[in-house]
Structure formats: C-alpha cells, structure tokens
C-alpha cells in the first residue's frame, strides 16, 4: 500500500488459537486447527483487508508459534516490524472448545494459556524502540483494548503511556473487550481501569453485554452520558449497533448473513468502522463498512477475516 494511506497501529497480544475440529468436550477432541488470534491482531488483519496501512506493536516468543503469528501478519499485508521477539518467554495461546447449537451454528469457549507470555512483558520501553517510535509518530490511529491492561502491570503501564503521550493528529481507539478470566479476583480494579481508558479515547467500542457488566448499563444513551468525551461511541449487539459522532446518532442493523461462530466478529466490525473513519466516510457509511466486514468473520471458527 502506498505510504500516503493512513497508518493504523494495533497494540496488544497476538496468540495462537487451537480450535477444536469438532463440537464437544475437549477431552473427546483429537484434532485441533491452528490459527491466529488476539483481538487487536484480528482488527489489524481486517483493517489491512479494508485497504488501510496497518502495523502491529507487540511481542511474541522465539518459538514456532511466534514465527507462525508474524508470518500470518505478513501474509495478510500487516507490517510486523514492531513485533519484538522474546528469547525467554513463550508465545501465548488459547484453546477454543466448540459446542453445537440448535440453529446449526456453534458457540466457542476460550481456555487461555497465556500467563507469563512474551506479550505480558509489554512495557513503556516497548514503545521507545526506533521502529516502534517511528510507527507511532506516523500513525493516524492507534487501536487498543481492555485486554492488554489485564495482562500485567508493565502492559498496563505501556497502554497508559500511549494515552499520556498523545499526538494531536492521532486518534486513540479503545475496544472494551471485557475478559472476566483475566481480571479474576480484581474485578473492581479492572472496571476502574477500563472505564478510565474508555473515557479518554477518541473512539470507543463496547457490546451491550460487556457494558452492562462493566458500566452498569447497556442503554446507548446512558452510556453516552457516562462517556461524553470520545467523539465516537459504538454500542453493539448481535442485531446491530448504535453509534454516536458528537451529538449525531445513527442506528444500524446487522447484515443478514450465515453464522458459523461469532468470536472475532466484533474485532472485524471495529476494523470496518475505523477504516471508514480513516477514509472520510460518514457515520452511517462507517457503520455500513463495519457490518460488511463483520460478516466475513462469522462464516468460520477462525477469529479473523481472510
């Protein structure tokens, strides 16, 4: 892509997903399919598919899984030059257990194996390498989520550094992505931390389900009153989205599309909306682009679009 296109930098952990080949309890599954996962990495791939120049800022282990992840980024047109390689800590992974639904789709349950991963060692120093510094200086948008601050104290500090070292021409995007398993035993601290990041971002995404748990309401207009500062606020559910741009409001329905499994669709929706913002689309146009890309994540048990 030409360097004149806007640059989006996605900051967070990439993981290998081992997805059960068949629905049922893990103890009965003999075969798993390997794929790339991680909310911010899924968003990066979807942004690149939408024609946005995209880089990932992260860390992986010096292992086969880490090399697989960076190769996947490159294969999807995402720059991996700011993905550090850790010679000691491993690449994180999770196992996705599938359960069949009556409508023919499947539900996915994630089992994390990411404690002590290379990405847990993300820190403010990660942002100061020559490659990372150059990318951040050029970025029109930095995309973050509520997952990274839960990984470790140093990862929280790194995300805080992104917010405090703001550039006037750089948008900060935040996807709530509430993960109870990562905040277990410190739920109140987690709610306070992610609420603070949401309140300081320029663009905020949240599902109604997560918003109810974290903010105490799923009503889009009450959420807007809680978070007046972000220019854009997106509140989503499986049926559609309510979006705010300043005082402008738009409602949109999800597109009618076959559903195999829904994990990753929110990341794709965020990417489509962000691509619309970066290319100057209207609020309704950006919403429509988000829904179009989200449908591409619904048709498989992978977490990212192809």
Active site residues: 267
The answer to whether 166 and 31 have CB atoms below 8 angstroms apart is no
Rg (CA), the chain: 18
Q: Which of 110, 228, 109, 127 is nearest to 170 (CA)?
A: 127
The alpha carbon torsion through 216, 238, 172, 215 (nearest 10 deg) reads: 0
**Residue 181 buriedness (CB in 10 A; 0-12 / 13-18 / 19+):** exposed
Q: Which single residue is written with the structure tokens 């807007």?
A: 224
**Structure tokens that stand for 291 in this block:** 């829904």
Distance CA 234, CA 8 (A): 19
Are the beta carbons of 36 and 17 closer than 8 angstroms? Answer: yes
Chain centre distance of CA 287: 17
Cβ-contact 145, 93 below 8 angstroms: no
Q: For 137, list phi and psi in degrees, rounded to 5.
A: -65, -30
**Which tokens sit at 158?**
């790194």
Task: Report how far residue 184's alpha carbon sits from residue 145's, in angstroms, rounded to the nearest whole number.
Answer: 17
């Amino acid at each position: 892509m030409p360097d004149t296109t806007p640059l989006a930098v996605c900051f967070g952990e990439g993981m290998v997903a081992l997805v059960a080949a068949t629905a049922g309890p893990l103890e009965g599954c003999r075969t798993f399919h390997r794929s790339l996962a991680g909310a911010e990495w899924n968003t990066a791939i979807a942004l690149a598919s939408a024609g946005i120049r995209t880089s990932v800022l992260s860390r992986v282990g010096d292992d086969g899984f880490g090399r697989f992840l960076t190769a996947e980024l490159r294969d999807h047109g995402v720059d991996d030059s700011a993905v550090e390689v850790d010679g000691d800590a491993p690449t994180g992974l999770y196992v996705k257990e599938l359960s069949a639904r009556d409508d023919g789709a499947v539900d996915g349950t994630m089992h994390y194996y990411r404690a002590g991963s290379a990405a847990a060692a993300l820190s403010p120093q990660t942002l100061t390498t020559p490659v990372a510094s150059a990318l951040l200086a050029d970025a029109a948008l930095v995309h973050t989520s509520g997952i990274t601050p839960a990984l470790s104290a140093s990862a929280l500090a790194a995300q805080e550094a992104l917010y405090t070292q703001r550039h006037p021409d750089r948008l900060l995007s935040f996807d709530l992505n509430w993960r109870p398993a990562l905040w277990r035993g410190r739920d109140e601290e987690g709610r306070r931390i992610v609420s603070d990041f949401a309140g300081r971002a320029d663009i905020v995404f949240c599902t109604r389900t997560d918003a109810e748990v974290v903010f105490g309401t799923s009503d889009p207009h009450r959420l807007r009153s809680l978070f007046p500062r972000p220019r854009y606020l997106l509140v989503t559910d499986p049926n559609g989205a309510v979006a705010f741009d300043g005082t402008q409001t738009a409602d949109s329905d999800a597109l009618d599309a076959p559903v195999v499994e829904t994990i990753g669709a929110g990341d794709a929706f965020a990417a489509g909306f962000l691509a619309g913002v970066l290319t100057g689309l209207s609020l309704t146009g950006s919403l429509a682009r988000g829904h179009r890309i989200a449908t591409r994540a619904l048709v498989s048990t992978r977490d990212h679009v192809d």
